[in-house]
Amino acid sequence: MELTGAQILMTILKEEGVDTIFGFPGGAVIDLYDELIRSDLRHILVRHEQGAVHAADGYARASGKVGVCLVTSGPGATNTVTGIATAYMDSIPLVIITGQVPTQLIGNDAFQEVDIVGITRPCTKHNYLVNHVEDLARILKEAFHIARSGRPGPVLVDIPKNIGVAKTDYQPITEVNIKSYNPTYHPNTKQLKKALNLLKAAQRPLIFSGGGVILSKASDELADLAHRLKIPVTSSLMGLGAFPGSDPLWLGMLGMHGTYRANMAVSQCDLMVAVGVRFDDRVTGKTDCFASGAKIIHIDIDPTSIRKNIPVTVPVVGDCRSSLTELNRMIVEEGIQADETTRRGWLDQIVFWRDEHKLAYEQKETIKPQFVIEKLYELTRGQAIVTTEVGQNQMWAAQFYHFDRPQQFITSGGLGTMGFGLPAAIGAQVAFPEKMVVDIAGDGSIQMNIQEMATAVQYNLPVKVVILNNRCLGMVRQWQELFYDKRYAHTILEHAPDFVKLAEAFGARGLRASHPDEVEATLAEGLETKGPVIMEFIVASEECVYPMVPAGKAITDMLLV
Q: Look at residue 480 in the predicted model and tell me its pLDDT.
A: 98
Alpha carbons 504 and 451: distance in angstroms, whole number: 13
Return per-residue pLDDT of the chain as tens, 561 residues: 999 999 999 999 999 999 999 999 999 999 999 999 999 999 999 999 999 999 999 999 999 999 999 999 999 999 999 999 999 999 999 999 999 999 999 999 999 999 999 999 999 999 999 999 999 999 999 999 999 999 999 999 999 999 999 999 999 999 999 999 999 999 999 999 999 999 999 999 999 999 999 999 999 999 999 999 999 999 999 999 999 999 999 999 999 999 999 999 999 999 999 999 999 999 999 999 999 999 999 999 999 999 999 999 999 999 999 999 999 999 999 999 998 898 999 999 999 999 999 999 999 999 999 999 999 999 999 999 999 999 999 999 999 999 999 999 999 999 999 999 999 999 999 999 999 999 999 999 999 999 999 999 999 999 999 999 999 999 999 999 999 999 999 999 999 999 999 999 999 999 999 999 999 999 999 999 999 999 999 999 999 999 999 999 999 999 997
Q: Angle at Cα 401 formed by Cα 399 and Cα 402, nearest 5°? A: 90
Q: Is the dihedral of CA 342, 346, 352, 355 positive or negative?
A: negative
Q: How many CA atoms lie within 13 A of 113 on its CB side?
A: 14
Catalytic residue of the set 264, 395, 475, 535? 475
- The answer to whether the CB of 138 falls within 8 A of the CB of 79 is no
Q: Is 452 a catalytic residue?
A: no
Distance CA 171, CA 141 (A): 12
CA pair distance 223, 241, nearest whole angstrom = 11
The 3-class secondary structure across 83-100, one letter per residue, is: HHHHHHHCCCCEEEEEEE
C-alpha to C-alpha distance for 284 and 554, rounded to whole angstroms = 8
Helix 5-15 to helix 136-148 angle (10° resolution) is 30
Catalytic residue selected from 15, 65, 112, 432:
112
Amino acid identity at 120: T
Picking from 549, 417, 391, the residue whose alpha carbon sits closest to that of residue 482 is 549
CA pair distance 538, 464, nearest whole angstrom: 17
Where b means 16+ CB within 10 Å and e means fewer, 484-502 reads eeeeeeebebeeeeebbeb
Number of alpha carbons in the 13 Å side-chain half-sphere of residue 149: 15
Residue 506 falls in the annotated catalytic set: no
Question: ∠12-18-20 over CA atoms, to 5°?
Answer: 130
Characterize the bridge pairing of strands 271-275 and 205-209: parallel
Helical segments of 16-135, H only: 30-36, 49-63, 75-78, 81-89, 116-120
Measured distance CA(454)–CA(311) in Å, rounded: 48
Residue 264 annotated as catalytic:
no
Picking from 164, 156, 56, 163, the residue whose alpha carbon sits closest to that of residue 116 is 156
Cis peptide before 311 (omega within 30 of 0): no
**Pairwise CA distance, residues 94 & 413, whole Å:** 16
**Closest C-alpha among 524, 529, 502 to residue 513:** 524
Give 187's DSSP letter.
Answer: P
Give residue 561's pLDDT. 78
Q: Is residue 553 flagged as an active site residue?
A: no
Catalytic one of 141, 161, 295, 368? 161
The residue among 230, 185, 444, 438 whose CA lies nearest residue 331 is 230
Catalytic residue among 14, 111, 504, 528: 111
Tell me the three-class secondary structure of 438-468, residue by residue. Answer: EEEEECCHHHHCHHHHHHHHHCCCCCEEEEE
Among candidate residues 298, 44, 69, 122, the one with its CA nearest the CA of residue 195: 298
Catalytic residue flag (residue 161): yes
Q: How far, in Å, CA of 368 to CA of 360, rounded? A: 11
